[in-house]
Structure 1
Amino acid sequence: MYDGLMPDDAFLNSQSQAHEMNVYSLRSLRMLSAYRKPQPLKSSWQILSTFGIYALCWALAFMSLQQAYALSLLFCLPAALMVGRMFAIQHDCGHGSLYASRRLQDWIGCLCSLFTLIPYHYWRKVHAVHHADLGNLDRRSPGEFPQMTLAEYQAAPHGKRRLYRLFRNPWTLLLLVPGLMFFLAFRRARKSPEFTRFERRSVYLTNLALWA
């Protein structure tokens, strides 16, 4: 006998959508699983091509000094781009995505750090903490840019608010902050329990290698 109850169409639709999302997620995982494993040949090509182009650019820049100074500077531009690729390689080594061997990736990351000026082992911990605490205002990692909530900003003294706005200005972030990070922030290790003695020591070993 009909009791007057009708199926909840909204509920059925939500259940159907949830099922479709689960199926889609499983398909996506299967498709992406092939990219979870390191591909040593591609990784090696990226590393060799990056350092090869970098060395070639510097060689051409040196040889063109006698011809035209502007031409020498022109070759420095792709060399600078290769330093950016070196940091990308260093980043992927920190995530362990280039090779199955952690030790090999650590050596490559340390090599890249001599060109990027960023100590590998110390940066790897900073970056790991960054991923763990990103967006968590109750636990702000040392690798984050200063970030204040509206309540914190309103409660801060006038001078601190002006300094915060200056620091968060796009021109400051693009022109001033990179130099501060490379030449000051990463030249000294933080005395924090999050960093091991080895990770802090890597900062000063990198500095020593750069001065040598």
Structure 2
Amino acid sequence: MAPKSSVPGSDKSLIKLTAAYKTPSVGMSIWQLINTLVPYIGLWFLMVFLIDRSWWLVLPVSILAAGFTVRLFIIFHDCGHGAFFRSKKAADITGIVLGILTFTPYYRWHHAHLIHHRTAGNLDKRGVGDVWTLTVDEFRNLSPRKRMFYRIYRNPLIMFGLGAALVFLVMNRFTRKGFGRKERISVYVTNLGIAVLAAGISLLIGFENYLLIQLPVIYFASTAGVFLFYVQHQFSGVHWYRDQDWDYSTVAISGASYLKFPKILQWFSGNIGFHHIHHLSSKIPNYKLEKCQRENKEFSQVVPVNFRESMKSLSLRLWDEDRQKLVSYRQALV
């Protein structure tokens, strides 16, 4: 049985601290849409201007456009939590449109993501909206073939270099058995929106030029986005629990990271690095997360994960139930 965590989080009063930050500000939400969507569109015009001169001039601009795509995705994410607009209709319409720009079906993605929020850090409820993670014992009991498959899946070059783009470009285009009506329709609507947008842009600049611009933007954005999601729940100080020991507020603080990245990365990632607070209360708009952290000293006890530490977490692949920590293959098999 996993020991109860001593970090601040088992105290339900922490959830009460977040109540003052839950209400979205229409003005701040609209301003965030403007300062994200307008530069994103502007960068598209710049890349269209540059594409006939040299694709190598487009490439660095596509990296910047990918940063704004990540920020659009955070707004998309907030819309699904009801944290961006008070009006559900306004949030859903905004989310659906941004889903087309980020190649992500709105209702399909949020269905899995809400399950993730209810099960994060629960060893008995893995498998939906999370990164596939095995315990040491589970890995040892796999056949050599399945071990190799797991190693390939968890390889950073595969997960971020190939897998991330495949999720957004390919897997998000299809429905699956068990999807509800809303999830299926969201896939069809998103696919249609992408097709219409691609056709319209292709008529103006050519299909090849469209691909030469769009594919790098989505590639860099998906890689960055999946990396962010990974280190939010896969880091050296994370705690996971069996179902009987699982507690929502405890896991929010001990099972989600506080990523303390440089300010510029914090801005492009829409403050999602304050992930411990987001899991404590997903109704807080992204632009209020830092304020919640700063104004409540109780959250100062959470040890931040900096960029260097986040890179080290890439070598941690298995959960060791005996040692109560993520470990590398070498540590697991000694």
Class of the TM-score when normalised by the shorter of the 2 chains: 0.7 to 0.9
Runs of 4+ in 1 over 6 A off after TM superposition: none
1:204 aligned residue (179, 188, 195) = 188
- Tell me which of 101, 104, 109 is aligned to 1:118: 104
Residue identity matched to 1:120: Y
Aligned to 1:71: 57
Number of the residue aligned with 1:180:
166
Deviation at 1:68, TM superposition (A): 5.0
SS at match of 2:134: coil
Offset at residue 66 of structure 1 (A): 5.2
Give, as a single letter, the amino acid of the residue that structure 2 aligns with 1:77.
I
* Equivalent residue, structure 2, for 1:48: 34
What do the CA deviations read for 1:178-210 (whole angstroms, capped 9, x no partner)? 022112221212222xx4212122112211221
Going from structure 1 to structure 2, the CA distance change for 1:138 and 1:53 (only over 3 Å counts) comes to same
**How many angstroms does 1:118 deviate by?**
0.7
What displacement does 1:29 show?
Answer: 4.3
Deviation (angstroms), 1:45? 0.6
Point out which structure has higher relative CO (alpha carbons under 8 A, 6+ apart): 2
Q: Normalising to structure 2: TM-score of the pair?
A: 0.52
- SS at structure 2 position matched to 1:103: helix
Q: Distance in 2 between matches of 1:68 and 1:179?
A: 24
**Cα 1:69–1:185 shift into 2, 3 Å:** closer
- CA distance in structure 2 between the partners assigned to 1:69 and 1:166 by the alignment: 32
After TM superposition, give the deviation of residue 67 of structure 1 in Å: 5.2
Q: Which runs of 5+ in 1 are unaligned?
A: 1-20
Deviations 1:116-149 (A, max 9, x none): 1010111011100111111222222432222222
Equivalent residue pairs, number: 187
Structure 2: gaps of 5 or more residues: 1-9, 197-334
- 3-state SS of 1:117 partner: coil
TM-score of the superposed pair, with normalisation by structure 1: 0.79
Say if 1:175 and 1:41 are closer, same or farther in 2 by CA, change over 3 A: same
Equivalent AA in structure 2 for residue 62 of structure 1:
V
Q: CA RMSD in A?
A: 2.4
Letter of the aligned partner of 1:85 in structure 2? R
Calculate percent identity across the aligned residue pairs: 35
Amino acid in structure 1 at the alignment position of 2:186? S
